[in-house]
Structures are given as C-alpha cells and as structure tokens.
Amino acid sequence: MSPAHPARDRLVAAAADLFYRQGIHATGIDEVIARAGVAKASLYNNFASKDELVAAYLRDALERSRRLFAECLSEPDPPSRLRSFFDRLAAGATRDDFAGCPFANAAAELDPRDPASSVLAEFDRALADFFARAIDDAPDSPAVRRLVVCYVGALHGAKVRHDPRVVADAADLALATWSRA
Amino acid sequence: MSPAHPARDRLVAAAADLFYRQGIHATGIDEVIARAGVAKASLYNNFASKDELVAAYLRDALERSRRLFAECLSEPDPPSRLRSFFDRLAAGATRDDFAGCPFANAAAELDPRDPASSVLAEFDRALADFFARAIDDAPDSPAVRRLVVCYVGALHGAKVRHDPRVVADAADLALATWSRA
DNA sequence: GTCTATAGAACGATAGAC
DNA sequence: GTCTATCGTTCTATAGAC
C-alpha cells in the first residue's frame, strides 16, 4: 500500500494471516517476523509492542470490512444489499483458511480493557450502521439487531461446524426478518 | 460432587470462573490454585497438565448445558420450549460476570487439534440435538441450523454489546423461524 | 503406612522487549 | 542476538486422615 513503509506493511500482512488463523495468543513474535521476512528490530521500530501490532491488524481488518460494506450498499434495494452481503460471507466461508469473524475471535481472546478492544467496538458500530443503511432503518432498531444476530451466527456457525451451509441458513433468516419488519 | 476429591472440585470451580471470565491463555496456573486455595502439587495430582484442567472445565460446562437442555425439554410444546431456553439465556446475560458462550470463547482460543476441542464438538452436537427435540425435527434440518444461528448470535451479541436485549431479538427470530418452518 | 493434602523452591522453555 | 520475565512443570519437605 504505502511503499514508504515496506517492513510495516509486511508485518501487518503476516500478522493478519497468522493472528487470524492461529489466534493472537497462540502466535509468537518470532513467527510473525519470520513470515514477514523482517528483522526483529523492524517490528519494534514500527510498533511499540505486540499489542500495537494486534491493534494494527484489527484496524486493517476493519478497513477491509468497511470496503465490503460500501460495495454491498451500492446495490439498489434492501434485499439485494443483504443478499450481496451474505453471498460474500458464504464465499469467504468456503475458503480453506476461513476461521470465522476476526473480531469475534479477537473478542474472545483479548482483555476488554486492552486498547485493541476499542477496534472491536468500532466494528460493531460499523456493522450496525451498515445494516441500518442496507434496510433504511435506525442502527439501534430491532430489525438491525436481528440482522447482527444473523451475521454473528452465520460466521461462528460456519466456523465451528466447518459447514458453509450455515451462512445460507443465516441469509434466509436475515431476508425473512427484513421482509417481516 | 464427590467429597472424596475436594481439591479437584475446588480446582474445577476456580478454573471455570477464571477461564470463563478472563480466557484460558490469559489465566495462569498460579491464579487458579490461589483462588481454589489448594497447593500446586494438588493440581498435578489430579490433572496431568493445564490442558486437562481446561478439558475438565469444558466437560463441567457441558454437563450444566445438558441439564439446562433437559429442563427446557420438559415444557409441553415447541414454542414454550424455545421460550424457556431463550429466557434462561437472557437471565444469564444480565449477570455481571456474563462473558458469552464458554464453548465459543474456547473455540477461539484453542488449537482445534487440542484434545479439549473435542468437547466443543460435543457441545455442538448436544445443542443441535436439543433444538431438534425441542421442535420435533431432524438435528441437521435447516430449521435446527437456523436455531443454532440464533443461539450463537444471541450470546455473542449480548457479550460484545453488553446488551441483554440482543437475546430477546434472537428469541424473536427463533420463534419466527420455527413457526415459519 | 499409604494416600492426599500444603507450602514453596527450582528448573526448562518460551515469548516479549530492547 | 541477547536479556529478562513469565509460565507450566517438577521436586523437596511436611502434616493430617483413613
């Protein structure tokens, strides 16, 4: 992305892959720098601590999510926006490196008082905001909250059951709850 | 439970509290034995390793879940069984030590190849089996899979948003998806 | 006596930090 | 690449219950 910081970008990319697939606590610093192909000093030149690398990883994932939301919102009407969103989730769930929602995983691992946890709350707001725009409703409306339930259930279910069909089930629920509202 | 092993029971109880609230990796052995009020040797007399204590904690949680399922299944008809279940979830979500689903949290932390992870799969089967019995359907039916989505979304949403209303939203979804099926 | 408990020191490995 | 802290684990020593 920014050629001015190749080491930093390589570190975030390596961290994103490893933290997401293996978990944050289960991934050591050495493994990250080995995959990034940078020296250990480069890590501490760009980040004050592992926690800040974790935060950078989550902010990067948040940015990807925001782009995904924007693409789905370009669809013309609520049902096609929701379908577009859950179709993309389903496609992601079929990948062999799929490991659920990175924010849900991080939430289970991180101390809520950890500064990186604030990114999780940001994602939560961004997700509710996306659903609200998608169905033209308020971010705190029951319909939006039900859609959030569908999203969470879809990704976690697909993860623990290794079954992408769960995403389709959740999409059915989401479409039904919208048309019902 | 068995008075012949007071130290073991105290260890599991302490581990259940700490592992659930703080996470497994974030909780050290010393903290567990301090809360249990037992010596370190008692831990390794009853468990071969920390991993086995983790497995015991998860099996204990699974037993509690099975009892909860059985109580809900004593209700006379599907809607009241589902209501009973989600009402109990909602009550749990209002507790100040609520931290979501212990199995979902453990799934995010543990290596899938960890022997303790088999308990997570057991819970998954037990949950699907409960919903199947609750609505008189097959454990792998779409309706049951949608109910699992509701359960997962309910607990995770209530956790990250600190908002027990999410459980009520999920209960609405669950009742609706059943009556629709 | 044997089993299980407690208290604490000490070891080896790992992981984060500089 | 080195330093240091921490964590899981093991060992020594001792006391109480059946």
Q: Which residue is nearest to nucleotide D6 (CA to C1')?
A: B28
**pLDDT of B164 over the 60 cut:** yes
Is A128 found in the same domain as A84? yes
User: Which pLDDT value is given to residue B181?
Assistant: 60
Cβ burial A120-131 (10 Å sphere, 16+ → b, else e):
bebbbebbbebb
Strands (E), B6-149: none
Confidence of residue B3 (pLDDT cuts 50, 70, 90): very low
DSSP code of residue B95: S
Q: What is the CATH number of the domain that holds B109?
A: 1.10.357.10
**B170 within a domain of the structure (yes/no):** yes
**A168 within a domain of the structure (yes/no):** yes
Is A168 found in the same domain as A118? yes
User: Which pLDDT value is given to residue B114?
Assistant: 87
Confidence of residue B2 (pLDDT cuts 50, 70, 90): very low
Is A151 found in the same domain as A88? yes
Using a CB–CB cut-off of 8 Å, the residues of B that contact A are: 22-23, 25-26, 100, 104-105, 107-109, 111, 120-121, 124, 142, 145-146, 148-154, 156-157, 159-161, 165-166, 169-170, 172-173, 176-177, 180
H helices of chain A, in order, are 6-22, 29-36, 40-46, 50-73, 78-93, 102-109, 117-135, 142-161, 165-180
User: Which pLDDT value is given to residue A4?
Assistant: 60
Q: What is the CATH number of the domain that holds A31?
A: 1.10.10.60
**A138 within a domain of the structure (yes/no):** yes
User: Which pLDDT value is given to residue A67?
Assistant: 98
More confident residue, B83 or A160: B83
Instruction: Specify whether the CB–CB gap between A175 and A169 falls below 8 A.
Output: no
Domain span holding position B43: 1-47
pLDDT > 70 in chain B, percent:
97
CA B30 – C1' D10 distance (Å)? Answer: 15
DSSP code of residue B138: -
User: Which pLDDT value is given to residue A178?
Assistant: 82
Is A10 found in the same domain as A73? no
How many domains does the structure of chain B reveal?
Answer: 2
**pLDDT of B120 over the 90 cut:** yes
Q: How far, in Å, CA of B145 to CA of B151, rounded?
A: 10
Per-residue confidence in pLDDT tens, chain A, 181 aa: 445 678 999 999 999 999 999 999 999 999 999 999 999 999 999 999 999 999 999 999 999 999 999 999 999 999 999 999 999 999 999 999 999 999 999 998 998 888 899 999 999 999 999 999 999 999 999 999 999 999 999 999 999 888 999 999 999 999 998 887 6
Identify the H or E element spanning B50.
Answer: helix B50-73
Is A18 found in the same domain as A68? no
Is A3 found in the same domain as A84? no
Q: How far, in Å, CA of B147 to CA of B177, rounded?
A: 8
User: Which pLDDT value is given to residue B4?
Assistant: 56
**pLDDT of B57 over the 90 cut:** yes
The amino acid occupying position B47 is F
Is B65 found in the same domain as B43? no
**A57 within a domain of the structure (yes/no):** no
Q: Which residue is nearest to nucleotide D18 (CA to C1')?
A: B4
**B56 within a domain of the structure (yes/no):** no
Please answer yes or no on whether A109 and B166 come within 8 Å at the CB atom: no
Is A86 found in the same domain as A153? yes
Identify the H or E element spanning B169.
Answer: helix B165-180
Q: How far, in Å, CA of B70 to CA of B73, rounded?
A: 5
**pLDDT of B156 over the 60 cut:** yes
User: Which pLDDT value is given to residue B1?
Assistant: 43
**A105 within a domain of the structure (yes/no):** yes
Q: How far is B6 from chain A (nearest CA, A)?
A: 30
**B10 within a domain of the structure (yes/no):** yes
What residues contact A44, with CB distance under 8 A and at least 6 apart?
A: none
Q: How far is B33 from chain A (nearest CA, A)?
A: 21
Is B126 found in the same domain as B77? yes
pLDDT tens per residue across span B93-106: 999 999 999 999 99
CA B25 – C1' D18 distance (Å)? Answer: 38
Pick out residues 39-78 of chain A having their CB under 7 A from any atom of nucleic acid strand C. Answer: 40-41, 44, 48-51
Distance set, CA B33 to CA A55, B116, B131 (Å): 32, 20, 37
Is A124 found in the same domain as A83? yes
Q: Which of A24, A160, A179 to mutate to test the interface with B (most CBs of B within 10 A)?
A: A160
**B54 within a domain of the structure (yes/no):** no
What phi and psi values does residue A36 have, to the nearest 5 degrees? -75, -20
- Whole-model pTM? 0.92
Is A99 found in the same domain as A67? yes
Closest alpha carbon to A105 in A174, A160, A142: A160
Q: How far, in Å, CA of B17 to CA of B23, rounded?
A: 10
Please answer yes or no on whether B150 and A154 come within 8 Å at the CB atom: no
Instruction: Specify whether the CB–CB gap between B148 and B131 falls below 8 A.
Output: yes
Is B79 found in the same domain as B31? no
User: Cβ of residue A97 near strand C, that is under 7 Å?
Assistant: no
Torsion of CA B26, B28, B33, B35, to 10 degrees: -30
Which nucleotides of chain C have an atom under 7 angstroms from any protein CB?
4-9, 14-18
Q: Which residue is nearest to nucleotide C7 (CA to C1')?
A: B39
For chain A, the first-to-last Cα distance in angstroms comes to: 42
